[in-house]
């Protein structure tokens, strides 16, 4: 049984952390809510005024906002399935016995992309995907493909962001799924492998049930990270060309930081936050049952 | 036998391809950083060239990337230390004590993993302005607690739970206070968790861009924010950009390799062990 | 140096025909020198944001002389253009430490109306601080007015000055049988376009990336020569007038002679395309001359030639852009004085020659008086020609421009990409622009119609 402790002890242990997180996490959020009810533009501070829910009404009816949301959803819908497909393949290869040294090295290599500074990932994309000086186009040239204008064309730029997202996060998905695979009891897996030669059958009927938690984790974390996605497209395309890669976080940054309309940006951020908290609740319900 | 060895060869090739896929961009980053501007703008790109360290010399000393790296170290190390100091007692409490509202508190700690910095950045700019904290290390150190503290709390809670409770109870019988037990019995045993969470907190702080970009325009400017300043549409110095990128990325990659077994755990806030 | 200043002071006093106020100053303070004026402010640190462009690098090279003479320490932070407005606005709002504002002409109204910058008169009225040889009349009137003056008050002195020019590859033109660049935009499209667009090369590049480049270099550049404009006299949208539409439609038609993906071209890509011989003609800011002329960054060599921008049905109306330096209101007394001394020194008649030599483009008429200069700097005749006739409100300079430019950037790009028609795009920009202006109070008389 967990011991009951005095309120004072509890406060001494938890107080500092709770206080710190409240100050840095909650106070600014409340401030943002307050600002979101105002016309508040850094270049027009004299005209600052309370406008009630006007900003929210403007955001909810603003096609630009919904287009950015749609783009964010599309990025998720395209890149995450690819990440899962490739990631699962990698995980299955790594899960097989043998070639231990190779596999250890591969696991180490897989760690690199997800740890890389996201801003640098975007800069790397600029250098490697350049139509003329980029190594990717050079490689495509070896395969007989004409140089592709990755960054300059709206559609290609979106594809380029997807490709880069896949590069950075497929290893993550692979390692998460590998962790899931290792939860399959070895004796069950062995028994299944004796019964059938088809790897697919083993995957579908024996391993998949154990992979479900990992898959759900991937889906939810990738949703949250896609909503947060800022650094990489910011350094890669700044949301362009046109608004082809203006994802939701980039849009909010543009409104707040380049149009200086902090009231509007705060309203947008609050709507995004509501969505995030909904998703977080779902996540925690699915994964942290043990604590309850 | 031959079918089996053919299988092994295929597998080895596949593994090599995966490694190449992960590592090639870094190879390209480092080689580009060793090119002069003329070589970097060769079309098609050069694979063999006379390397130069000129870009490193230039970014470190002329463009103040050196200063930015020092700022990054100050901020990342301080926020990590602060997060450990604040987070380990809280983690201990979550692992050992029973109290009302524990689940809600837990939920709130973890939610921070999901909140986008863009939600907090603008109000924090205004608050920092009013408190005179703009462009100080302190502002960044505090804001980075929003993600370093939860990570320390999560990983250390898990670690404290794995320590046998009998140890606590024995100490309690000897009349030790809760704080003594935490400090002298459990914390030393939880050191692996503290180390892992510190490394993760360091990596995440080191990589952060948006807060740094908005809150620290000059004196406290960190390395990622510095890298962004090379993006003038006027002239794109590829060699310098990649030299800066290499300097930024190398420390995190080293730490990531050190904590490679736990990185995924950190990124998923423990959903995957 | 001291001696030189003396001599020019005397010369001015002797000439005695410019500003009577200045003459009086000269008479009283015959011994004015930068060293003397700066003495009380030695050790003062002055903070300013610079861009990574030739004009700034030129001043940086000259800076040791200023710091040695004055004991003032200049703290320069280099930022990309895209960040310069945001960082300055946040600094001013937060009461930060920037002492000199770097003012792009389109930020002028914004900075002035917020009271973030001080009128030049604050300092020129103080003889202790003001060089008797300041000679305002020596500035080209167009850049002085456009980059520094808002609603009748002068705030900044023109520092990093641009005019749109036509840079071209004379060798490519010659090979195609042209001895001279096109005189009009129509000629460029109908005669030069088809003749020069072949074998993977293109006749012309128009940098159009979705940032200020789209609205300034691309959208506005085609609007004005055809008689179009952003606003009518009543501040309503003029973008759907036949003239504006003709200009924007022209841009659309011209795209077939531009490289693919032109909407992603920023200055660097466009300049590089000309420098590498991939396009034959480029309308770009004068400041890019040094990039295009240097063998390190350009293959053009003697093929590089410069002309004023082509004329449209409404005349030349070349792109106009540039930055002035103004003293920030938030600076304290000593910083203000030191900042002013720097601005005055950096834009002075005496230093204009060196500034030019090191890659800057001064806005001083006297700097270009020597006809021999045109041999070294091929852009000079075209530049002087361009600054004779231009529109200060090439892009409106009021505080609402940052909001409006975002609209123009978004819809101007969509237009070029064919996602909306020219007419629809112009209509959308017009509606959104009018909404911004209505919000600001231009239509109910709350604000003077200044742009």
Nearest to C268 among B63, B218, B233 (CB): B233
The answer to whether C306 touches C83, Cβ cutoff 8 Å, is: no
Geometric angle at alpha carbon B135, from B130 and B137, rounded to 5°: 110
B233 touches chain A (CB under 8 A): no
CB < 8 Å to A240, chain C: 209-211, 264, 413
Question: DSSP string of B210-267?
Answer: HHHHHH-SSTT--HHHHHHTT--TT---HHHHHHHHHHHHHHHHHHHHHTHHHHHHHH
Reported ipTM: 0.87
Question: How far does B247 lie from chain A, in Å, by closest CA?
Answer: 10
Pick the closest to residue C399 from C362, C342, C442, C346 (CA basis): C442
Question: DSSP string of C317-385?
Answer: ---EEEEEEEEBTTS-HHHHHHHHHHHHHHT-HHHHHHHHHTT----BGGGG--TTHHHH-TTHHHHHH
- Taking any CB pair shorter than 8 Å as contact, residues of chain B touching chain C are 37-38, 41, 63, 125, 128-129, 134-135, 214, 217-218, 228-236
Counting every residue written for chain A, the total comes to 292
Tell me the per-residue pLDDT of B37-53, one tens digit each, with 9 for 90 and over.
Answer: 778 877 788 888 888 89
C299 touches chain A (CB under 8 A): no
pLDDT at B233: 54
B236 with C211: Cβ contact below 8 A? no
Within 10 A of C376 (CB to CB), how many other CB atoms are there?
Answer: 11
Q: Where are the domains of chain A?
A: 56-291
Nearest to A152 among C114, C264, C402 (CB): C264
Question: Token pair of C143, please?
Answer: 């850049």
Pick the closest to residue C153 from C107, C119, C108, C104 (CA basis): C119
Question: DSSP string of chain B?
Answer: -HHHHHHHHHHHHHHHHHHHHHHHHHHHHHHHHTS-HHHHT-SSPPSS-----HHHHIIIIIS-HHHHHHHHHHHHHHHHHHHHHHHHHHHHHHHH---TTHHHHHHHHHHTTT--HHHHHHHHHHHHHHHT-TT-HHHHHHHHHHHHHHHHHHHHHHHHHTS-HHHHHHHHHTT--HHHIIIIIIHHHTHHHHHHHHHHHHHHHHH--HHHHHH-SSTT--HHHHHHTT--TT---HHHHHHHHHHHHHHHHHHHHHTHHHHHHHHTTTS--
With residues binned 3-state (H G I as helix, E B as strand, rest as coil), the percentages for chain C, rounded to 5, are 50, 15, 35
Q: Which residue has the tokens 């924090």?
A: B124
Q: Which residue has the tokens 């002013």?
A: C340
Question: DSSP string of A39-107?
Answer: E-BGGGGGG-EE-TTHHHHHHHT-HHHHHHHHHHHHHHHHHHHHHHHHHHHHHHHHHSSS-HHHHHHHH
Phi, psi of C163, deg, nearest 5 = -135, 150
C62 touches chain A (CB under 8 A): no
C277 touches chain B (CB under 8 A): no
Within 10 A of B47 (CB to CB), how many other CB atoms are there?
Answer: 9
Nearest to A2 among B96, B105, B263 (CB): B96
CB < 8 Å to B122, chain A: 32, 35, 256-257, 262, 265-266, 269
A265 with B263: Cβ contact below 8 A? no
**pLDDT exceeds cutoff 90 at A77:** yes
Fold of C163-319+396-440: D-Maltodextrin-Binding Protein; domain 2 (3.40.190)
Tell me the per-residue pLDDT of A18-72, one tens digit each, with 9 for 90 and over.
Answer: 999 999 989 999 999 999 999 998 888 888 889 989 999 999 998 889 999 999 9
DSSP letter assigned to residue C422 = H
Q: Which residue has the tokens 């154990």?
A: A210
A152 with C406: Cβ contact below 8 A? no
Q: Which residues pair with C100 in a beta bridge?
A: C48, C327
Mutate to test the interface with C, among B232, B237, B240 (most CBs of C within 10 A): B232
Regions of chain C where pLDDT drops below 70: 1-30
Average pLDDT of the residues in B176-200: 89
pLDDT at B270: 64
The CATH number corresponding to B57-267 among 3.30.460.80, 3.20.20.10, 1.10.1740.10, 1.10.3720.10 equals 1.10.3720.10
Q: A–B: how many Cβ contacts below 8 A?
A: 291
In this complex, which chains have at least 3 CB pairs below 8 Å with chain B?
A: A, C
CA–CA dist C211, C215 (Å, integer): 7
A258 with C406: Cβ contact below 8 A? yes
Contacts of B179 (CB under 8 A, 6+ apart): A9, A12
Q: A–C: how many Cβ contacts below 8 A?
A: 70
Nearest to A31 among B26, B123, B273 (CB): B123
Same fold, C2-161+320-386 and C163-319+396-440: yes
B233 with C267: Cβ contact below 8 A? yes
Phi, psi of C169, deg, nearest 5 = -95, 95
Residue C282 parent element (H or E): strand C279-285
A43 with C399: Cβ contact below 8 A? yes
Question: How far does A77 lie from chain B, in Å, by closest CA?
Answer: 19
Geometric angle at alpha carbon C409, from C160 and C319, rounded to 5°: 40
Tell me the per-residue pLDDT of A227-243, one tens digit each, with 9 for 90 and over.
Answer: 999 999 998 888 877 78
Phi, psi of C284, deg, nearest 5 = -140, 170
**pLDDT exceeds cutoff 90 at A217:** no
CB < 8 Å to C210, chain A: 238-243
pLDDT at A98: 80
CA–CA dist C200, C203 (Å, integer): 10
Tell me the per-residue pLDDT of B51-92, one tens digit each, with 9 for 90 and over.
Answer: 889 889 988 887 788 999 999 999 999 999 999 999 999 999
Pick the closest to residue A123 from C209, C210, B240 (CA basis): B240
C132 conformational bin, left if phi > 0, alpha if psi -120 to 50, beta if neither = alpha
Task: Give the C-alpha distances (Å, rounded to integers) separating B194 from B179, B265, C1.
Answer: 17, 14, 64
Tell me the per-residue pLDDT of A158-196, one tens digit each, with 9 for 90 and over.
Answer: 999 999 999 999 999 999 899 888 888 888 888 888 887
CA–CA dist C413, A246 (Å, integer): 14
Question: How far does A19 lie from chain B, in Å, by closest CA?
Answer: 10
Task: Give the C-alpha distances (Å, rounded to integers) separating A111 from A125, A177, C254.
Answer: 19, 14, 49
B257 with A111: Cβ contact below 8 A? yes
Question: How far does A87 lie from chain B, in Å, by closest CA?
Answer: 10
Tell me the per-residue pLDDT of B98-124, one tens digit each, with 9 for 90 and over.
Answer: 888 888 888 788 788 788 889 899 999
CB < 8 Å to C419, chain A: 242
B84 touches chain A (CB under 8 A): no
B129 with C93: Cβ contact below 8 A? yes
Q: B–C: how many Cβ contacts below 8 A?
A: 58
pTM: 0.82
Q: Which residue has the tokens 């109204």?
A: C109
The answer to whether C110 touches C395, Cβ cutoff 8 Å, is: no
CA–CA dist A207, A183 (Å, integer): 9
Task: Give the C-alpha distances (Å, rounded to integers) separating A233 from A124, A236, A238, B225, C157.
Answer: 11, 5, 6, 14, 37
CA–CA dist A146, A130 (Å, integer): 13
pLDDT at C166: 94
* CATH code, A56-291: 1.10.3720.10
In this complex, which chains have at least 3 CB pairs below 8 Å with chain A?
A: B, C
**Angle between the N-to-C axes of helices B238-258 and A118-129, in degrees from 0 to 180, rounded to the nearest 10:** 130
pLDDT at C20: 43
Tell me the per-residue pLDDT of C59-72, one tens digit each, with 9 for 90 and over.
Answer: 999 999 999 999 99
* CATH code, C2-161+320-386: 3.40.190.10
CA–CA dist B38, C109 (Å, integer): 41
pLDDT at B258: 87
Helices (H), chain A: 7-21, 27-36, 54-60, 63-95, 100-115, 118-129, 135-142, 154-181, 186-195, 199-201, 208-228, 231-236, 248-257, 262-287
Largest CA distance in chain B: 76
Question: Token pair of B197, please?
Answer: 């969470």
The answer to whether C6 touches C32, Cβ cutoff 8 Å, is: no
A221 with B119: Cβ contact below 8 A? no
Mutate to test the interface with C, among A147, A159, A242 (most CBs of C within 10 A): A242
CA–CA dist C239, C404 (Å, integer): 13
Phi, psi of A255, deg, nearest 5 = -65, -40
CA–CA dist A106, B16 (Å, integer): 8
Pick the closest to residue A188 from A169, A172, A202 (CA basis): A202
Rounded to 10 degrees, the C-alpha dihedral C367/C373/C379/C380 comes to 40
Task: Give the C-alpha distances (Å, rounded to integers) separating B19 from A74, A182, C249.
Answer: 28, 21, 51
Nearest to B22 among A171, A270, A287 (CB): A171
CA–CA dist A159, A79 (Å, integer): 10
Q: Which of residues 43-72 of B touch A (CB under 8 A)?
A: 43-45
Question: How far does B32 lie from chain C, in Å, by closest CA?
Answer: 18
């Amino acid at each position: 049984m967990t011991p009951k402790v005095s309120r004072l002890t509890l406060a001494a242990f938890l107080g500092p952390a709770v206080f710190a997180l409240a100050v840095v996490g909650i106070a600014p959020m409340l401030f943002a809510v307050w600002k979101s009810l105002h016309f508040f533009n850094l270049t027009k501070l004299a005209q600052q005024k309370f406008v009630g829910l006007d900003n929210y009404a403007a955001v909810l009816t603003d096609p630009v906002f919904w287009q950015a949301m749609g783009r964010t959803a599309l990025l998720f819908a395209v890149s995450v399935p690819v990440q899962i497909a490739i990631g699962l393949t990698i995980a299955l290869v790594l899960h097989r016995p043998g070639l231990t040294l190779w596999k250890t090295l591969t696991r180490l290599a897989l760690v690199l992309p997800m740890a890389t500074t996201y801003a640098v990932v975007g800069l790397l994309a600029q250098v490697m995907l350049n139509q003329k000086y980029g190594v990717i186009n050079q490689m495509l040239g070896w395969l007989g493909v004409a140089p592709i204008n990755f960054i300059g064309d709206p559609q290609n730029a979106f594809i380029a962001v997807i490709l880069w997202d896949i590069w950075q996060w497929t290893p993550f998905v692979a390692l998460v799924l590998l962790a899931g695979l290792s939860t399959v009891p070895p004796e069950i897996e062995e028994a299944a492998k004796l019964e059938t030669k088809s790897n697919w059958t083993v995957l579908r009927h024996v391993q998949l049930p154990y992979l479900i938690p990992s898959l759900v984790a991937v889906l939810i974390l990738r949703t949250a990270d896609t909503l947060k996605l800022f650094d990489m497209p910011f350094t890669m395309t700044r949301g362009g060309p046109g608004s082809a890669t203006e994802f939701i976080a980039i849009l909010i940054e543009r409104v707040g930081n380049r149009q200086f309309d902090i009231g509007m940006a705060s309203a947008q951020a609050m709507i995004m936050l509501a969505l995030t908290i909904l998703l977080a609740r779902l996540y925690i319900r699915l994964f942290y049952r043990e604590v309850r | 036998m031959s079918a089996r060895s053919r299988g092994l060869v295929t597998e080895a090739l596949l593994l090599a391809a995966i490694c190449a896929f992960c590592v090639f961009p870094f190879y390209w980053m480092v080689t580009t950083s060793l090119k002069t501007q003329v070589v970097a703008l060769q079309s098609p790109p050069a694979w063999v060239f006379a390397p130069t360290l000129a870009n490193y010399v230039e970014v470190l000393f002329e463009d103040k990337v050196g200063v930015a790296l020092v700022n990054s170290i100050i901020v990342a190390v301080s926020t990590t230390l602060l997060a450990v100091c604040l987070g380990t007692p809280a983690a201990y409490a979550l692992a050992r004590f029973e109290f009302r509202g524990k689940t809600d508190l837990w939920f709130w700690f973890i939610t921070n993993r999901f909140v986008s910095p863009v939600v907090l950045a603008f109000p924090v700019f205004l608050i920092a302005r009013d408190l005179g904290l703009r462009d100080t290390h302190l502002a960044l150190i505090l804001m980075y607690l929003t993600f370093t503290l939860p990570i320390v709390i999560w990983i250390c809670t898990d670690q404290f739970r794995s320590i046998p409770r009998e140890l606590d109870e024995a100490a309690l019988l000897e009349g030790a206070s809760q704080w003594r037990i935490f400090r002298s019995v459990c914390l030393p045993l939880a050191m692996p968790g503290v180390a892992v969470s510190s490394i993760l907190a360091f990596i995440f702080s080191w990589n952060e861009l948006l807060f740094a970009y908005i809150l620290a325009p000059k004196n406290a400017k960190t390395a990622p924010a510095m890298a962004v300043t090379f993006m003038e549409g006027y002239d794109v110095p590829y060699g310098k950009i990649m030299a800066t990128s290499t300097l930024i990325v190398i420390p995190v990659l080293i730490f990531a390799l050190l904590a490679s077994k736990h990185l995924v755990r950190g990124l998923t806030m423990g959903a995957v062990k | 140096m001291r001696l030189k200043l003396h001599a020019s002071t005397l010369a001015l006093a002797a000439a005695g025909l410019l500003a009577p106020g200045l003459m009086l100053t000269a008479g009283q303070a015959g011994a004015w020198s930068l060293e003397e004026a700066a003495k009380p402010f030695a050790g003062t640190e002055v903070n300013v944001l610079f861009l990574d462009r030739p004009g700034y690098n030129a001043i940086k090279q000259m800076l040791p002389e200023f710091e040695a003479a004055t004991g003032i320490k200049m703290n320069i932070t280099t930022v990309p253009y895209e960040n310069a407005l945001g960082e300055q606005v946040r600094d001013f709002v937060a009461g930060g430490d920037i002492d000199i504002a770097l003012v792009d002409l389109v930020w002028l109204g914004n900075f002035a109306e917020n009271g973030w910058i001080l009128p030049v008169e604050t300092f020129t009225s103080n003889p202790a601080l003001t060089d008797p040889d300041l000679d305002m009349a020596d500035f080209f009137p167009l850049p002085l007015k456009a980059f520094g003056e808002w609603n009748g008050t002068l705030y900044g002195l023109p520092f990093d000055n641009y005019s749109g020019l036509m840079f071209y590859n004379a060798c490519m033109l010659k090979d195609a049988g042209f001895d001279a660049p096109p005189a009009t935009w129509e000629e460029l499209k109908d005669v030069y376009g088809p003749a020069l667009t072949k074998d993977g090369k293109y006749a012309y590049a128009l940098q159009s990336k979705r940032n200020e480049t789209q609205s300034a270099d691309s959208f506005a550049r085609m609007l004005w020569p055809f008689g179009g404009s952003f606003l009518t006299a009543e501040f309503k949208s003029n973008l759907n007038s036949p003239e504006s539409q003709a200009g924007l439609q022209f841009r659309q038609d011209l795209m077939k002679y531009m490289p693919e993906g032109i909407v992603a071209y920023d200055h660097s890509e466009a300049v590089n395309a000309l420098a590498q011989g991939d396009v034959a003609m480029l309308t770009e800011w004068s400041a890019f001359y040094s990039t295009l002329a240097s063998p390190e960054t350009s293959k053009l060599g003697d093929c590089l030639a410069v002309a004023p921008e082509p004329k449209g049905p409404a005349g030349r109306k070349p792109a106009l852009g540039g930055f002035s330096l103004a003293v920030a209101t938030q600076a304290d007394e000593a910083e203000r004085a030191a900042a002013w001394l720097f601005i005055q020194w950096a834009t002075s008649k005496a230093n204009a020659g060196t500034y030019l030599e090191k890659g800057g483009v001064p806005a001083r008429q006297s700097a270009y008086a020597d006809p021999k200069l045109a041999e070294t700097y091929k852009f000079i005749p075209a530049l002087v020609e361009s600054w004779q006739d231009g529109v200060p409100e090439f892009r409106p300079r009021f505080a609402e421009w940052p909001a409006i430019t975002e609209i123009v950037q978004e819809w101007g790009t969509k237009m070029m990409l064919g996602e909306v028609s020219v007419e629809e795009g112009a209509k959308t920009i017009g509606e959104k622009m009018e909404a911004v202006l209505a919000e600001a109070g231009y239509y109910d008389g709350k604000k003077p119609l200044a742009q």
